[in-house]
Amino acid sequence: MTTTHGPARTVLVLGGGIGGTACATRLRRKLPKPHRVVLVEREADYVYSPSTLWLMVGVRTRAQVTRTRAALARRGIEWVRGTVDSIDPATRSAIVDGKRLAGDAMVIALGAELAPEAVPGLEAAGHDLYTLEGMERLRDAFASFRSGRLAIVVADIPFKCPAAPNEAALLLEAELRRRGVRGACEIVLHTPEPGPMPVAGPAVSGALRGMIEARGIRYQPGRKLVSVDAASRRLSFADGSTEEYDLLAYVPPHRAPAVARAAGLVSGTGWIGVDRHTLATTHSGVYAIGDATGIALANGRPLPKAGVLAHAQADVVADNIAREITGRGVPRAFDGRGAC
């Protein structure tokens, strides 16, 4: 993107999750009019994903964890409701519902694509912990759960919000205790991870596993799910083992958005490749933030996919784009830090 303080510029933000919304909002604050901030998002409501786990135990409702995106207009953000059909990073443009949109800078914040269909039988057999609809169905099924085995399965890695399956297990366990039926229910958490939140290091991972097991939750690490038989309620794993369940909740496989893969933006990590400090792609004026990216930490481990990190990345990218357009401010770098 060419630095200029004259003609009006347009920043195109693709995706309205935590990262995309934060980026568009900060850009609008930083950029004087007539510079434009255009946010492309197909869903009418913004979902505050950190609160969605509370839906399954009836503590929150859909209305409490969503907000209409129509409010963006009051902040001077142009919301284009539509689906991104394709991306052309060379021209910083995208086809949205058949119409071409272009910007002087483009931020790709499309998140991770959920792919439960990648595991045969999974989608039909259980309840998705990563969609509002899945959470509501789990809430309804869990309401009458009084005995049996509740299985929580992480289908594959990486997945966004590494704490989510562990938090889900603890919330469901607490609710069963509140109902007075905990003794009649078994809870098991299957995951391909070596331990909970391994990126946090062995001390934190070990402490979290201790918390989980102290609640009588059976923790099963190193288990790669390969298929689910809904008729017999049976899970099959890569090591040849199987296990039955009565109620199933799952974290679906995640992958980079199809449009990013088609545009050649995905690196050998399977995710959009970016500079880990600036979030810039190899295309001039094109950035990517959040769950769609693959970033290696200094220790070689992948940066977790988490909303707090997407927000931090959004701030860095927004500030740097605003600086290029206005000539004000200093360059910023993402340091990979975040806590939630």
Q: DSSP letters along 6-68, please?
A: SS--EEEEE--SHHHHHHHHHHHHHSPTT-EEEEEES-SEEE-GGGGGGGGGTSS-HHHHEEE
pTM of the model: 0.95
What pLDDT, in 10s, does the model give residues 72-82?
999 999 999 99
| Cα–Cα dist 26/134, whole Å | 31
Q: What is the mean pLDDT of residues 103-121?
A: 98
- Which of these CATH numbers, 3.40.50.970, 3.50.50.60, 3.30.530.20, 3.40.50.1980, describes 10-112+256-326? 3.50.50.60
Q: What is the mean pLDDT of residues 302-329?
A: 97
- Residue 2 confidence class, pLDDT cut points 50, 70, 90: very low
DSSP bridge pairs for 152 = 189, 249
- Taking the CA atoms of residue 139, residue 142, residue 143 and residue 149 in that order, the dihedral angle to the nearest 10 degrees is -170
Residue 1 has pLDDT above 90, yes or no: no
Residue 175 has pLDDT above 80, yes or no: yes
Q: 7 or 167: which carries more pLDDT confidence?
A: 167
Q: What is the mean pLDDT of residues 250-263?
A: 98
Domain 10-112+256-326 shares a fold with domain 114-253: yes
How big, in percent rounded to 5, are the helix, strand and coil portions of the chain? 35, 25, 40
CA count, 13 A, side-chain hemisphere, 49: 23
The pLDDT assigned to 300 comes to: 80
The pLDDT assigned to 68 comes to: 95
Fold of 114-253: FAD/NAD(P)-binding domain (3.50.50)
Task: Parse the chain into domains and list their residue ranges.
Answer: 10-112+256-326, 114-253
The pLDDT assigned to 5 comes to: 57
What pLDDT, in 10s, does the model give residues 260-315?
999 999 999 999 999 999 999 999 999 999 999 999 887 788 999 999 999 999 99
